[in-house]
């Protein structure tokens, strides 16, 4: 490739919510964290300053070929790469397995096929640890979750007027119950709620849990099912969930500011898996909160 060749980078985000370049909008907090999209914005800024345009992959799908050499990277999306693999102007550079396997087992099952098309497959873990989900060993490169900050939040770090214990998580359940920690979080909250020693924040604790992962069930039916579960919960309340709801304090407007109000925070990962370390423990470090951690 000559230096004069036009190069464009297209990133398929982990969710359709971040198409139309919303992936680079640092003010979008739908991923449950402060500035959590900052690494993507930094990528865009870096490559733009070096003459490489960066967009989300929906813009690539709209182009018919404008003479650019397109570099395609997927952050977990599997719906577009086979179509793009047929284009001579596009290189399938990397597939990042972003989600943990008990949430998206179908994604890991599909890596055997994706490996044939992408130059590299990346995961937090390694091939041996993931073979239960991939079905066979595949070539996997390691990557670590990028953090949005490189120092502590000083105004929060030095806060000494703190309450005892918190947990910030959404009310969710995985597709697969193997080495999972979703229910362990619930048990921990229930234990400390008996004596009123914990404040719970997050999405969805005022109703039944959300089932994560892709399924063949249409979203309309999934929403209907959850509505029915909400009605059933009023008739026959889940005793464990009812106890947990007593310490529910709603959504945290700012994760870091909320953590900074507490001495300790329960920050279990989604599952126990080699290499699976996400932002949860680092959020505590930034805010000067002691993490009660369980994970990799």
What is the distance of C-alpha 268 from the center of its chain?
14
Q: 158 near 288, Cβ under 8 Å?
A: yes
Would the pLDDT of 171 be above 80?
A: yes
Q: 107 near 47, Cβ under 8 Å?
A: no
Could you tell me which residue, 137 or 227, shows the higher pLDDT? 137
Structure tokens at 28: 């979008």
Cα–Cα distance between 194 and 243 in angstroms, integer?
8
Phi, psi of 96 (to 5 degrees): -100, 115
Instruction: Name the percent of the chain lying above pLDDT 70.
Output: 86
Would the pLDDT of 5 be above 60?
A: yes
Count Cβ atoms within 10 A of the Cβ of residue 43 and give its class: 0-12 exposed, 13-18 middle, 19 or more buried. middle
DSSP bridge partners of 7:
69
At residue 94, the pLDDT reads 95
Phi, psi of 90 (to 5 degrees): -130, 135
Structure tokens at 234: 């009023």
Q: Give the SS3 label for residue 271.
A: strand
Comparing 110-124, 150-164, 227-241, which segment has the lowest mean pLDDT? 227-241
Would the pLDDT of 4 be above 50?
A: no
Cα–Cα distance between 137 and 158 in angstroms, integer?
47
Could you tell me which residue, 221 or 175, shows the higher pLDDT? 175
Q: 276 near 125, Cβ under 8 Å?
A: yes
Instruction: Work out the pLDDT band at 29, boundaries 50, 70, 90.
Output: low
Comparing 31-35, 134-138, 270-274, which segment has the lowest mean pLDDT? 31-35
Kind and range of the H or E element at 81?
A: helix 81-84
At residue 1, the pLDDT reads 44
Q: State mean pLDDT over 197-218.
A: 76
Q: Could you tell me the pTM of the whole model?
A: 0.83
The most confident of the ranges 223-227, 231-235, 241-245, 248-252 is: 248-252
Could you tell me which residue, 290 or 230, shows the higher pLDDT? 290
In the chain, DSSP finds a helix count (H) and a strand count (E) of 12, 12
Please report, for residues 5, 47, 52, 65, 270, the alpha-carbon distance to residue 2 in angstroms, rounded to integers and kept in the order given.
5, 17, 14, 18, 45
Would the pLDDT of 196 be above 80?
A: yes
């Amino acid at each position: 490739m000559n230096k004069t060749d036009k190069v464009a980078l297209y990133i398929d985000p982990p969710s359709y919510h971040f198409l139309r370049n919303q992936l680079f909008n640092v003010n979008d907090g739908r991923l449950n964290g402060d500035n959590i999209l900052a690494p993507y914005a930094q990528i865009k800024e870096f490559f733009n300053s070096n003459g490489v345009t960066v967009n989300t992959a929906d813009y690539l799908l709209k182009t018919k070929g404008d003479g650019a050499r397109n570099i395609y990277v997927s952050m977990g999306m599997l719906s577009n790469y086979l179509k793009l693999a047929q284009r001579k102007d596009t290189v399938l550079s990397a597939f990042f397995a972003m989600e943990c396997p008990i949430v998206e087992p179908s994604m890991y099952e599909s890596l055997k096929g994706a490996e044939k098309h992408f130059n590299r497959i990346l995961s937090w873990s390694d091939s041996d640890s993931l073979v239960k989900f991939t079905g066979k060993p595949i070539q996997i490169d390691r990557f670590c979750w990028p953090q949005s900050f490189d120092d502590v939040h000083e105004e929060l770090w030095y806060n000494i007027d703190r309450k005892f214990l918190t947990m910030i998580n959404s009310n969710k359940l995985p597709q697969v119950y193997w080495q999972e920690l979703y229910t362990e979080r619930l048990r921990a909250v229930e234990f400390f709620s008996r004596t009123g020693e914990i404040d719970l924040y997050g999405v969805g604790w005022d109703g039944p849990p959300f089932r994560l992962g892709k399924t063949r069930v249409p979203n309309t039916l999934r929403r209907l099912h959850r509505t029915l579960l909400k009605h059933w919960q009023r008739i026959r309340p889940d005793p464990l969930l009812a106890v947990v709801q007593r310490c529910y304090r709603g959504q945290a407007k700012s994760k870091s500011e909320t953590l900074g109000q507490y001495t300790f925070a329960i920050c279990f990962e989604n599952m126990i898996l080699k290499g699976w370390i996400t932002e949860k423990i680092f959020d505590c470090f930034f805010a000067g909160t002691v993490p009660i951690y369980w994970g990799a």
